[in-house]
């Protein structure tokens, strides 16, 4: 498989007019990223359930059909396997489909198409066929949704060679990473944390952040490294703030890319702090944190002062909305986990 293309979104399209700085939500940033790519490349198309006149259940595709027409943005049938299968066929003929799964667990009916075909076409054709498809998946909890509206399916996707799996945690990354994902010649699973959809940054678009496969140190510290992504970056930063009040210096990393994994940035941090913990909403057993803990340990064993911890959702189906707050990892749970270490070692 070839390396994903890392085209600079802002620089690559001089037709995008710079906006004045203003508070921008992640939903607005994603919407603008789609608009700019539709304008920049006539091969980009968007389809999925309710992405047309409605503009998507979270309004990520708001007004795009009206602006670009129903031959560029259209509603699909309620058939996720058909959505991915159609996208694969269109990519074979040079299109760049961006499809929406509406909610995380709604992607499971499309699992076979993604794992058996989308992820394997380049390898299957010895590199002759690229698959420039972005699968947008609103994911994780925090909005009071029921079980299959709040899942975190990243472990399924990262276990599949051939897929790039990324997740932004803020509006600037959402804009920059989505444009980069659309320009990649390989399939990208683009996981959008629903609880962060309405977070705001003051932005002047277009904005270009770090390449989407690079992790980012969002707060420096010296005592422990918290590895977070998507919705749990906010949790990690809150834990760092609370920990500071207890005299703990916490470094927070936003992984951004779940696969490939940025070993360089993570190992540099772990070797500095000698302690690491990974935070995610998905269940712990067999989850993404297990891969991260193993990887960090393998590469940094002699630099670690304590086992790598996992602070996660519980090993249960996602609970009802009234119990959600007890299921999702919190800053308090993070600090309680860190207290289990023997700090004098």
Catalytic residue among 6, 149, 159, 303: 149
Nearest to 169 by CA among 234, 217, 214: 234
Asked if 168 and 174 touch (Cβ cutoff 8 Å), the reply is yes
| Cis previous bond, 206, omega within 30 | yes
Following DSSP, what letter does each residue of 148-211 receive, concatenated?
GGS---HHHHHTSTT-EEE--SSHHHHHHHHHHHHH-SS-EEEEEEGGGTT-EEEE-SS---S-
Angle at 203 between CA 197 and CA 205, to 5 degrees: 100
Q: Phi and psi of 289, rounded to 5°?
A: -60, -30
Asked if 169 and 233 touch (Cβ cutoff 8 Å), the reply is yes
- The answer to whether 159 is a known catalytic residue is no
Q: How far, in Å, CA of 171 to CA of 176, rounded?
A: 9
Asked if 4 and 213 touch (Cβ cutoff 8 Å), the reply is yes
Q: How far, in Å, CA of 159 to CA of 278, rounded?
A: 18
Angle at 63 between CA 62 and CA 68, to 5 degrees: 125
Q: How far, in Å, CA of 35 to CA of 43, rounded?
A: 13
How far from 213 is each of 139, 228, 263, CA to CA, in Å?
19, 15, 11
Asked if 200 and 16 touch (Cβ cutoff 8 Å), the reply is no
Nearest to 71 by CA among 37, 38, 36, 27: 38
Strands 216-219 and 250-254: antiparallel
Hunting for tokens 């947008």 — which residue is that? 136
Q: Where in the sequence numbering do the catalytic residues fall? A: 149
């Amino acid at each position: 498989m070839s390396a994903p293309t890392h085209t600079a979104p802002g620089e690559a399209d001089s037709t995008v007019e710079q906006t004045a700085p203003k508070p921008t939500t992640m939903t607005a940033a994603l919407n603008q990223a789609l608009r700019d790519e539709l304008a920049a490349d006539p091969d980009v198309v968007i389809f999925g359930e309710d992405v047309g006149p409605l503009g998507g259940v979270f309004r990520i595709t708001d007004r795009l059909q009206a602006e670009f027409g129903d031959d560029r943005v259209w509603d699909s049938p309620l058939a996720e396997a058909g959505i991915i299968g159609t996208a694969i066929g269109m990519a074979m003929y040079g299109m760049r489909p961006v499809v929406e799964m509406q909610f995380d667990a709604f992607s499971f009916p499309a699992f076979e198409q993604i794992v058996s075909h989308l992820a394997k076409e380049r390898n299957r054709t010895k590199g002759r066929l690229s698959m420039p498809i972005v699968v947008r998946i609103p994911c994780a909890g925090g909005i009071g949704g029921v079980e299959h509206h709040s899942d975190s399916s990243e472990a399924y996707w990262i276990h599949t060679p051939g897929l790039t799996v990324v997740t932004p945690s803020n509006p600037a990354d959402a804009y920059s990473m989505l444009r980069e994902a659309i320009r990649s010649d390989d399939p990208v699973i683009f996981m959008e944390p629903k609880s962060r959809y309405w977070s705001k940054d003051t932005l002047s678009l277009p904005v270009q952040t770090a390449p989407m496969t690079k992790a980012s140190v969002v707060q420096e510290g010296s005592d422990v490294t918290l590895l977070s992504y998507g919705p749990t970056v906010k949790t990690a930063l809150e834990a760092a703030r609370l920990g500071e009040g207890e005299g703990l210096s916490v470094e927070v990393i936003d992984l951004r890319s779940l696969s490939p994994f940025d070993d360089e940035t993570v190992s540099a941090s772990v070797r500095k702090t000698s302690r690491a913990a990974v935070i995610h909403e998905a269940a712990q057993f067999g989850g993404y944190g297990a891969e991260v803990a193993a990887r960090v340990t393998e590469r940094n064993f002699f630099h670690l002062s304590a086992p790598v911890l996992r602070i996660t959702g519980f090993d249960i189906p996602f609970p009802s909305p009234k119990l959600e707050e007890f299921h999702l990892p919190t800053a308090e749970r993070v600090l309680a986990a860190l207290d289990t270490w023997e700090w004098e070692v």
